[in-house]
């Protein structure tokens, strides 16, 4: 990878209700911190059906849509804006494949999940979706700008 391929990015991550119920918030936040990514916004929220449907609008009509919306509105989610070099692909690699049965050990889904709906975590898949999803959870003035200690 060339230096010119490295871009400072931000991405939207949230822990699904199953992860909160199982007490996994701390462990997963720790992984993100250990990697060196910055958490620039964070809040625990209960998603309305309307917001959940907006978040997953690209999946409307698919066979898993209803059960997915039911899960993400069943309890609190922990939403975060994560910033760092190539943060979108770095986070997606840490999260692992959508189906936890296929997710590699060492990835979050590979290590903490078996169920495809309750697969613990969401992370944006593109810059466009990252900005769209950040807007669903956060106002711009809730995102804190700071640098890591070097």
CB of 125 to Mg ion, least distance (A): 5
Does the annotation count 122 as an active-site position?
A: yes
Size of the site for ligand IDP (CB under 6 A): 9
Q: Is 125 in the site for ligand IDP (CB under 6 A)?
A: yes
CB of 4 to ligand IDP, least distance (A): 27
| Identified catalytic residue from 59, 63, 71, 122 | 122
Long-range CB pairs of 35-39 (<8 Å, 24+ gap) are 35/84, 35/90, 35/94, 36/84, 36/148, 37/82, 37/83, 37/84, 37/87, 37/90, 37/91, 38/82, 38/83, 38/84, 38/146, 38/147, 38/148, 39/80, 39/81, 39/82
HSE (CB half, 13 Å, CA atoms) of 116?
9
Please give the residues from 42 up to 101 whose contact with ligand IDP meets the rule CB under 6 A.
59, 64, 68, 98
CB of 139 to ligand IDP, least distance (A): 24
* Residues in the chain, total: 150
Q: 30 is in the binding site of which of ligand IDP, Mg ion, none (Cβ under 5 to 8 A by kind)? A: none
Which residue is listed with tokens 């462990």? 27
Which residue is listed with tokens 């979706």? 129
When binding is defined by CB under 6 A, the residue of 37, 55, 122, 137 that contacts ligand IDP is 122
Q: Is 10 in the site for ligand IDP (CB under 6 A)?
A: no
Q: In sequence order, which residues have a C-beta less than 8 Å from that of residue 114 and are 6 or more positions away? A: 100, 101
Q: Which of residues 68 and 134 has its CB atom nearest to ligand IDP in the complex?
A: 68
Catalytic residues: 122
Give the footprint of Mg ion on this chain (CB under 5 A). Answer: 125
Residues that bind ligand IDP (CB under 6 A): 59, 64, 68, 98, 116-117, 119, 122, 125
């Amino acid at each position: 990878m060339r230096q010119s391929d490295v871009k400072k990015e931000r991405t939207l991550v949230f822990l699904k209700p199953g992860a909160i119920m199982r007490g996994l918030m701390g462990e997963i936040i720790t992984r993100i911190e250990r990697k060196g990514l910055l958490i620039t916004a964070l809040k625990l929220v209960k998603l309305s059906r309307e917001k959940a449907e907006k978040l997953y609008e690209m999946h409307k009509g698919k066979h898993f849509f209803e059960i997915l919306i039911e899960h993400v509105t069943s309890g609190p989610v922990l939403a975060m804006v994560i910033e760092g070099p190539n943060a979108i692909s770095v986070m997606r690699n840490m999260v692992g494949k959508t189906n936890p049965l296929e997710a590699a050990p060492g990835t979050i889904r590979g290590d903490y999940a078996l169920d495809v709906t309750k697969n613990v975590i969401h992370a944006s898949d593109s810059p466009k979706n990252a900005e769209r999803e950040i807007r669903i959870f956060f106002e711009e003035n809730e995102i804190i700008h700071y640098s890591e200690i070097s």
